[in-house]
Amino acid sequence: MAPETVERHLIQEYLAVAKEASEAGCVVLRKHWGNLKGFDHKTSSSDLVTIADKESETAVLAIIKAKYPDHAIVAEESGLHESRNSEFMWVIDPLDGTTNYTHQYPFVCVSIGLLHKGESIVGVVQNPIMEECFWGAKGMGAYLNDKKISVSNADQVKDSLLVTGFRYDRRTNPDNNYREFCHLTNISHGVRRSGAAALDMCYVACGRVDAYWEQGVSLWDVAAGDVIVKEAGGSITDYDGTPANLEIGRLLATNGHVHAAMCDELLSIRGA
């Protein structure tokens, strides 16, 4: 059964709060850009966290909790802030692309999504260094800053530019996306690896790339991008074309035109 519809004026209100919270996080990221004194490791040597991640999350949470104290929240650094019986869940990545950030590689963002009964209805992904704010809301379209965006028209994988990423445990996990990367590099215009899943999805939405696939991502990496891609006319599924479960960490996002072919290629290289 499809989730019940949220009234348009409420979606507009939630979107405004998401933008406000995103900007608060971006203020923090601009402050620490180029001024970090160090970083810590979380699950592996490639899974980093900095003071910028933590302060950005604090700034974002302060705004959302003040506006909607009864809503549930899940955030990358502090986990689940549960509110009983809430139909809404805010999903926050205060700094997607932390490794990029530590090296001053400007592919970084704050990502804020809002789910209603498990469906993405609002998404804001803001890159404070490149001054790009991608946003979308159910039934309202997708935008880059104030300009409406849409997916590309590429209709063959051989004519497509792709983007992907790799798991934090790629050094020890044999299911690490390396085979898929090599295979699709050989049959497309190329595959980029940018290091920020939320922005990868937004690049599909605005037509800069034609498809994105990855596994091992977390809900906060993709919740905002989900609605942005769909509102821009794109498609999101699991690798086999079934509806994507954003919580299992595996998805394919495309312009729609190359979706079936991308599913076929991914399944063939994985031996499915």
**pLDDT, tens only, 162-215:** 999 986 655 666 677 899 999 999 999 999 999 999 999 999 999 999 999 999
Check whether residue 143 and residue 161 sit in a common domain. Answer: no
Asked whether residue 37 carries a pLDDT value surpassing 90, the answer given is no
Asked whether residue 1 carries a pLDDT value surpassing 70, the answer given is no
> Does some domain include residue 89?
yes
> Does some domain include residue 213?
yes
Give the model's pLDDT for residue 172: 62
What is the tens place of the pLDDT at every residue in 60-98? 999 999 999 999 999 988 878 877 789 999 999 999 999
36 pLDDT band, cuts 50/70/90, is confident
Check whether residue 128 and residue 162 sit in a common domain. Answer: no
105 pLDDT band, cuts 50/70/90, is very high
Check whether residue 37 and residue 133 sit in a common domain. Answer: yes
Number of independent structural domains in the chain: 2
Residues in the chain: 272
> Which residues, 6+ apart, have CB-to-CB distance to 103 below 8 Å?
none
Which domain, by its residues, includes 65? 8-148
Residue of 209, 207, 203 lying closest to 184 (CA atoms): 209
Orientation of helix 197-205 relative to helix 219-231, angle to 10°: 10
Give the model's pLDDT for residue 231: 98
> Which residues, 6+ apart, have CB-to-CB distance to 247 below 8 Å?
219
Give the model's pLDDT for residue 175: 73
Strand partners of residue 110: 126
What is the tens place of the pLDDT at every residue in 240-254? 999 999 988 899 999
Domain end: 115, 130, 148, which one? Answer: 148
Residue of 235, 236, 246, 225 lying closest to 136 (CA atoms): 225
Give the model's pLDDT for residue 271: 72
Give the model's pLDDT for residue 40: 60
Check whether residue 176 and residue 247 sit in a common domain. Answer: yes
Check whether residue 53 and residue 134 sit in a common domain. Answer: yes
Check whether residue 15 and residue 55 sit in a common domain. Answer: yes
Strand partners of residue 127: 132
> Does some domain include residue 3?
no
pTM: 0.93
Q: What are the backbone dihedrals phi and psi of residue 51, each rounded to the nearest 5 degrees, phi first? A: -60, -30
Mean pLDDT of the chain: 92
Q: Greater confidence, 1 or 138?
A: 138
> Does some domain include residue 1?
no
Distance CA 28, CA 221 (A): 19
Looking at residue 211, the DSSP 8-state letter turns out to be: E
Check whether residue 12 and residue 43 sit in a common domain. Answer: yes
Check whether residue 50 and residue 76 sit in a common domain. Answer: yes
Q: Identify the CATH number of the domain in which residue 80 sits.
A: 3.30.540.10
255 pLDDT band, cuts 50/70/90, is very high
What is the tens place of the pLDDT at every residue in 126-150? 999 999 999 999 999 999 999 999 9
Q: Identify the CATH number of the domain in which residue 223 sits.
A: 3.40.190.80
Check whether residue 177 and residue 115 sit in a common domain. Answer: no
Check whether residue 179 and residue 211 sit in a common domain. Answer: yes
Distance CA 21, CA 17 (A): 6
> Does some domain include residue 2?
no
- The pLDDT > 90 percentage for the chain reads 81
Domain end: 148, 179, 204, which one? Answer: 148
Give the model's pLDDT for residue 45: 47
10 Å CB burial of residue 40 (0-12, 13-18, 19+) is: exposed
Distance CA 32, CA 52 (A): 6
Domain end: 120, 148, 176, which one? Answer: 148
Q: What is the largest CA-CA distance in the chain?
A: 50
Check whether residue 23 and residue 111 sit in a common domain. Answer: yes
Check whether residue 143 and residue 24 sit in a common domain. Answer: yes
270 pLDDT band, cuts 50/70/90, is confident
Distance CA 97, CA 133 (A): 15
Give the model's pLDDT for residue 121: 98
